[in-house]
A = this chain, B = another copy of it.
């Protein structure tokens, strides 16, 4: 049990780090009165949005919690609520810090680039540590309660079901937050650009544009709150699934040993919070003044320190790294500490390679982004064609890395090896989220600098910080979807193990035939592969529709008050924020329910036509179909979107004619296209994949208990 206590301690340490750093950030000067007024409007808008979003989600959540309680019992319902509430909390706290750090970053950037970086990165680090800390606390606290005070054996079905329900709570909230926030941010962004830049001919972040506050609010609710909920979910699901799979697969050991083994992912997560905190202190501009370099110093410190940390803690937990334990269920001849250690190293390797590949595809120093910039010279069409080509191509190397990762981890320790590889990936979440969450802060800081007419040099510094943010945001999304690929395989493994366990309870007389030559498996694969496409279509359409409302509202404001464009009267910012809020919340509901309902519908439809065994086969194949297709859809959308964005930045830096040139106009089009790709549809595929898998697991449990 001391393993779990240490994990809980590390989770609390992360919260403490967040608290202390938050005080530091808030102690910085919030700038002059104009800046504070603008920041106030953003704070107000962001808060109003999140309150309304979480109220809507709460309604869905309560209904689902009741259903979970009815089908799986009270403990699972409590697990679901813990996951749901802490997921919401992670998003809310991250956003609260972000909307206060933005104006302080702008103010600090009036001093030096380093000061701006410090404030912005600290804000990001707070969100990062809170996400990892809360996720670790949720799962280790709940596990401690179940196996301690509640007195259940670690492989008791109640423990397994409850952990899955906890993950379900996190995922369900996360998909709403990711999608709602994603629609908000891009509807505001695209709408503001269309009506401001294109129609009225006023620059980005111009205070005369009524949508400008909504745009800045969007950075916070989408890139910060939405992303925090997403990574919280990824963390809980991955670590939870690893524990569940350990309980299902490792047999022939006593409960005390199993408890240790199930605690290993928790304590690895805990130690990596410490290495992440150490990493945050390394983020400093060197002599080269490279911002990306400064951030990488933090990341690599964390990654490298984590190697010995993981070795030592695995050794400490298991006693002897070479003793083989567990029956040979998986065809790997049992497991050993060394095998698990190497699996986790595979996870770290996959993380490092995906970071590197994503930077290659989205950074301004490499061929892909430059090819898009070059193609912009011949117009909008060729910019988009090249961007789409890059987005398709960007799936290749990450897929190969994931494939090699799967093979290596499997060779080390079978399916559990894949699970521990995914856990090691997620253990770095604190640091990765820190890199990401710094992005919206600097984006906002630039907007505030512009709107409060700060000196041009301040905007230059915030722009430099922001450009790096584009890459780190793409990196985080690549990392999240890559880990989702592994985590989903773990969940699929849990599904097949559960099927074996529940075989007779479900009324099955033989093992389910998951062979590819079973046509219902192919049907499931096709239907699963369809989900990310349909989901993506819905997300993209939603952004278009919501952006259309923004355009109409702003046109109306311009038409009814001619003083706005002359800079004489203040636009009604709040009305636009409110409008985008309502549109985003309305649009998020249906697509979010798609992955929840699809597994249930497919199971019952196929079971009705071809019997329950084929129903379970199709459902299992659906889970893999979602992964196989979702991985590519998400990777191509997030990398492509990042590349388009930075191709624009590259041209704005003076290449191919610079700002205002024909190439720049084309690049702006590409950036607009990439926006819903990379910030709405693409990243929401990640929780979508997992929610489909978790719903399938819960469906099995519900059918088994009912049958």
Contact = CB atoms under 8 A, between A and B. Distances in A.
A575 interface: no
Contact of A194 (B379, B541, B628, B677): B379
Contact of A390 (B517, B530, B537, B547): B537
Given A392-B537, A536-B392, A673 B384 contact: yes
A438 B386 CA distance: 31
A544 B389 contact: yes
Interface string A541-566: 10110011001000000000000000
A413 B516 CA distance: 18
Contact of A526 (B522, B529, B610, B628): B628
Interface string A238-251: 00000000000000
Contacts of A380: 380, 669, 672
Contacts of A621: 516
A403 B625 CA distance: 13
A389 B537 contact: yes
Contact of A402 (B526, B551, B676): B526
A396 B536 CA distance: 11
Interface of A is mostly: helix
Interface stretch (A17-25, A59-67, A488-496, A695-703): A488-496
Contacts of A517: 492-493, 496, 514
Contact of A672 (B381, B536, B624): B381
A388 interface: yes
Interface string A626-647: 0011011000100000000000
Interface string A517-542: 10111110111011001101110110
Listed residue (A517, A536, A541, A631) with the most chain B CB atoms within 10 angstroms of its CB: A517
A541 B609 contact: no
| A: contact size bracket | 35 or more
A393 interface: yes
A382 B621 CA distance: 35
Contact of A629 (B402, B529, B547, B672): B529
A588 B677 CA distance: 29
Given A386-B544, A393-B537, A396-B533, A381 B673 contact: yes
Given A378-B548, A548-B378, A522 B389 contact: no
A198 interface: yes
A538 B390 CA distance: 9
Contacts of A227: none
A515 interface: yes
A445 interface: no
Contacts of A609: 407, 411
A609 to B, nearest CB: 6
Given A521-B516, A609-B407, A624-B525, A392 B533 contact: yes
Given A198-B379, A516-B521, A529-B628, A385 B672 contact: yes
Nearest to A672: B381
A489 B411 CA distance: 30
Contacts of A514: 515-517
Contacts of A673: 381, 384-385, 388
A506 interface: no
Identical subunits present: 2
Contact of A676 (B385, B492, B547, B636): B385
Interface in A283-330: none
A522 B489 contact: yes
Interface in A368-422: 375, 378-382, 384-386, 388-390, 392-393, 395-396, 399-400, 402-403, 406-407, 410-411, 415, 418
A190 interface: yes
A620 interface: yes
A381 B669 contact: yes
B523 A407 contact: yes
A529 B632 contact: yes
Contacts of A672: 379-382, 384-385
A550 to B, nearest CB: 10
A661 to B, nearest CB: 14
B543 A385 contact: yes
Contacts of A410: 519
Contacts of A194: 378-379, 381-382
Interface string A664-679: 0000110111001100
Contact of A190 (B190, B382, B400): B382
B669 A384 contact: yes
B544 A385 contact: yes
Nearest to A617: B516
Nearest to A386: B544
A113 B492 CA distance: 59
A399 B628 CA distance: 16
Contact of A544 (B375, B492, B515, B530): B375
Given A378-B547, A410-B519, A529-B632, 19 more contacts: A193-B381, A194-B382, A380-B669, A381-B669, A381-B673, A385-B540, A386-B540, A386-B541, A388-B673, A393-B541, A396-B534, A399-B527, A399-B529, A403-B523, A411-B610, A516-B521, A529-B628, A529-B631, A669-B669
Closest 4 CB pairs of A and B: A381-B672, A393-B537, A389-B540, A392-B537
6 contacts: A198-B379, A378-B548, A378-B551, A386-B541, A396-B533, A492-B517
